[in-house]
A and B are shown apart, each in its own frame.
Chain A
Amino acid sequence: MKYFLVQILPYFTVALFLGGIVWRIWRWMIARIVHNITLSPFPSNWVAAILWILWQMVFFWNVLKFDPWLWVGAWPMHVALFSILGGHVLGIYTLGTQFHLLFPWLITEAQSEHASEFLGTFFGIIFFVALVYLLVRRLTLTRMKVLSSTSDYLHLLLLLAISGVGNYMRLVEGAGVTYAEARTFLAGLFTFNPQPFPDNWFFFTHFLLVQLLMIVFPFSKLMHSFGIMWERWIVNRPYKEAPLGLPGVKLRLD
């Protein structure tokens, strides 16, 4: 059973994750943008429109502007999330030497490992705390209670569980696995050359929950990460104004 969950299921998970995302986006693309329903003030051209969309995505500008108290939790949560994702890829692939590889003249391997360690812990804690904040917000504010379905809480709980186990492995001496152990196993998966799974129940749980997240992702509101681009493509687009000046008048504009 365990063998299935760690050596075989991951392939299905990845297929479902990538396939699901493509399928969802394909479904969005079937429908047309029938009328130009851009929100004004209109961007003057496509470059301006795309910059505006990126600005919104990077800073959660509307959240900051219209609900700062939400931003306090939402933005750090997402920044930490993406840092952690990046950290997982780079840290495991380079065994924590990513900063050394980037700036070899500046940072030694040991320093890089320390930095990787520190940043991982830092963002791990931010992520967890911000998620707790968002959950409490959802559980207490009237407007959030009436809007939420069970799944909205479950998404937060799932992320909390993943990061909870992750943080535990990091913070408790000897509870986790080393980058090298994880890398050996993952390399085995990527190269279709199964390697033994590290003998650690926390790591097993962490690995399983992430798979669950990846399976749920394409079939949930988490698709908002792509949705934001497709939605804003509709409502943030340029519009060409008709020229002013009236024909056949005695008092002409020019």
Chain B
Amino acid sequence: MPLVDGLNQPVKAGPKEFEGLHLVPVPDEEKPAEALKWLDYYRKERRSLVMAMESCVKCGLCAEHCHTYLGTKDPNNIPAGRADLMRKVYKRYFTVQGKLFGKLVGAEEISMRTLEEWFSYYYQCTECRRCGHVCPFGIDTCEVTMIGRQILYNIGMIPKLHAATDVAILRTGNHMALTPSGIVDTLDFLSDEIEEERGFRIEFPVDKPNSDILYVPSSADFFLNPDTLKGAAEFFEYIGANWTISTRITEAGNFGYLSDQTRVQRELVNRVWEEVARLGVKKVVWGECGHGWRAAKMYIPTMSDYPTRMRVPITHILDEVAAYIKAGKLKLNPKNNFRAQGLPVTLHDPCNYARACGLVENLRVDLYASVTEVREMNPNREKTFCCGGGSGVLFDDPEMYQLRIKFSQKKADMIRATGAKVLCAPCSICKAQFHAMIPEHKLDVKLYGLIDLVGAALDFKGHRQV
């Protein structure tokens, strides 16, 4: 249903998904009024929303810094324009100037058309926060997008992709609806592969009681990025960790964070603490996922209802690896890196790491120690551009897919300019996007995560098994 009133939209969820989410959608004719009630609620609840609504001066600075506007030249994809879709309604109902002067100050009544626009443009924003980084006031349009999506969710306007993933989260604790037996089978198979590659076997402990470390991988890794799982196992094996993967929280990402923060996001938060208690875990180590790490690092502390004494520290595997490298405890041999194979590597800074999690320098500590040649992209670090797939806009319907290509144009140009042959993207959604976009932009690169490359450089000679 890609085009609604001339708007690009992903396919919407239907009765089947609503049932799985225990959600009663609001009838169409009541949607605008209901959305308005939610907007009134969130403006009194989230200061980040009020400030975004009330402090923009329309200076236009953010326009040329958003990859979605650069790729489409659609005014509604200017961060301030995207926020305006909500701001015009906000002004009309919740400000003096909007009530008195209406159109003159850009205020407008809410209608079904407004909501269709929200649905279109809040699912074209990849929540990459580049606008927040560049705006003189720090206005973070990502916050507007999140509230916009939440309101749409509450009234029953959800992309089928997100709704189906949310249903899978509630049912299985991961995005891909992996079952415990499926998880064990895949990991067993990966152990076989490691044995072929290295000549010795590394096991993936699953649901092992009394584990010290709970590793939370991205479920997409089971299908798309097996090397990321293998790399993590190689690292844990190397340091002799008592670690495990839980079948109840096999998800480093969090689609709830991207569509419904009130219930679905919380489901994954609670599963972490349940599994920590069940398996006697002392530390949780997060796998590669940009938005997922943000959801874990920045949201779990304030979102979880679990008492503090039941919580344990949560860190990222790439931070832990960097600490080991800095302490000189890992023997890494870049020349023998059988994944990078001596080719020049470029690093894609996932926006969520760079602008929301402070994970920038440690990525470099890990990468520079593991491969022979790194070619930095420009711009990089906090100024990185999004891959164009962020916040789960990985839609396959033709119009939205075309947009994904446009959104990734900027990134593709940057990758090409480095001349690198390996693209390191330490984020699950970035990887999913790049798997599809590398052929679309005819890029000549192989795709890996970062722990994949670290694992492949680990020198096991004289260490433990070899």
Nearest-neighbor residue (CB-CB) of B301 within chain A:
A36
When chains A and B are docked, how far (Å) is the Cα of A234 from the Cα of B137?
Answer: 11
Complex contact A149–B54 (CB within 8 A): no
When chains A and B are docked, how far (Å) is the Cα of A150 from the Cα of B98?
Answer: 12
Complex contact B129–A39 (CB within 8 A): yes
- The count of residues in chain B whose C-beta lies closer than 8 Å to any C-beta of chain A is 78
Residues of A within 8 A of B327 (CB): 253-254
Complex contact B55–A227 (CB within 8 A): yes
The 0/1 profile, CB within 8 Å of A marked 1, for residues 41-59 of chain B is 0011111111110111111
Residues of B within 8 A of A35 (CB): 298-299, 302-303
Complex contact A244–B319 (CB within 8 A): yes
A151 within 8 A of B: yes
The 0/1 profile, CB within 8 Å of B marked 1, for residues 135-167 of chain A is 000000101101111111010000000000000
How near does chain B come to A4, taking the closest CB pair, in angstroms?
22
**Chain B positions 80-132 with a Cβ under 8 Å from a chain A Cβ:** 80-81, 84, 95-97, 101, 103-106, 129, 132
B140 within 8 A of A: yes
How near does chain A come to B7, taking the closest CB pair, in angstroms?
16
Complex contact B47–A32 (CB within 8 A): yes
Q: A151-B105, A251-B240 are in contact. Are A39 and B47 (CB under 8 A)?
A: no
**Chain B positions 345-368 with a Cβ under 8 Å from a chain A Cβ:** 354-360
**Chain A positions 213-237 with a Cβ under 8 Å from a chain B Cβ:** 219-221, 223-224, 227-228, 230-232, 234-236
How near does chain B come to A9, taking the closest CB pair, in angstroms?
19
When chains A and B are docked, how far (Å) is the Cα of A144 from the Cα of B80?
Answer: 10
Return 19 A-B CB contacts under 8 Å, by A number.
A31-B44, A39-B140, A62-B135, A143-B64, A147-B75, A147-B80, A147-B81, A151-B97, A154-B104, A221-B57, A224-B137, A227-B51, A227-B54, A235-B48, A239-B298, A244-B319, A244-B320, A247-B282, A253-B324
Segment at the interface with B among A66-74, A81-89, A118-126, A201-209: A66-74
Which listed residue (B47, B55, B61, B303) contacts A67, Cβ 8 A? B61
Q: A40-B357, A152-B58, A227-B51 are in contact. Are A66 and B75 (CB under 8 A)?
A: no
B315 within 8 A of A: yes
When chains A and B are docked, how far (Å) is the Cα of A148 from the Cα of B81?
Answer: 9
B194 within 8 A of A: no
When chains A and B are docked, how far (Å) is the Cα of A223 from the Cα of B63?
Answer: 22
Nearest-neighbor residue (CB-CB) of A151 within chain B:
B105
Which listed residue (B49, B60, B103, B359) contacts A31, Cβ 8 A? B49
When chains A and B are docked, how far (Å) is the Cα of A30 from the Cα of B319?
Answer: 37
Complex contact B61–A36 (CB within 8 A): no
B65 within 8 A of A: yes
B143 within 8 A of A: yes
A1 within 8 A of B: no
Q: A60-B136, A224-B57, A246-B283 are in contact. Are A146 and B240 (CB under 8 A)?
A: no
B241 within 8 A of A: yes
B224 within 8 A of A: no
**Chain B positions 1-58 with a Cβ under 8 Å from a chain A Cβ:** 43-52, 54-58
Which listed residue (B52, B239, B355) contacts A250, Cβ 8 A? B239
When chains A and B are docked, how far (Å) is the Cα of A155 from the Cα of B407?
Answer: 34
B167 within 8 A of A: no
A41 within 8 A of B: yes
B285 within 8 A of A: yes
How near does chain A come to B389, taking the closest CB pair, in angstroms?
21
Q: Give 4 closest A-B pairs by Cβ, nearest first.
A: A250-B240, A227-B55, A248-B212, A149-B106
Residues of A within 8 A of B138 (CB): 39, 56, 228, 231-232, 234-236
The 0/1 profile, CB within 8 Å of A marked 1, for residues 239-250 of chain B is 111100000000
A106 within 8 A of B: no
Complex contact A143–B45 (CB within 8 A): no
Nearest-neighbor residue (CB-CB) of B73 within chain A:
A142
How near does chain B come to A227, taking the closest CB pair, in angstroms?
3
When chains A and B are docked, how far (Å) is the Cα of A250 from the Cα of B239?
Answer: 6
A172 within 8 A of B: no
Nearest-neighbor residue (CB-CB) of B55 within chain A:
A227
How near does chain A come to B392, taking the closest CB pair, in angstroms?
19
Nearest-neighbor residue (CB-CB) of B105 within chain A:
A151
A102 within 8 A of B: no
B78 within 8 A of A: yes
A54 within 8 A of B: no
**Most chain A CB inside 10 Å of its own CB: which residue of B44, B49, B359:** B44
Residues of B within 8 A of A141 (CB): 60
Complex contact B298–A147 (CB within 8 A): no
When chains A and B are docked, how far (Å) is the Cα of A149 from the Cα of B60?
Answer: 13
Extra pairs beyond A60-B136, A70-B59, A151-B106 (14, CB < 8 Å): A40-B360, A40-B382, A62-B135, A143-B64, A223-B54, A224-B55, A227-B55, A232-B138, A245-B323, A249-B213, A249-B241, A250-B240, A251-B238, A251-B329
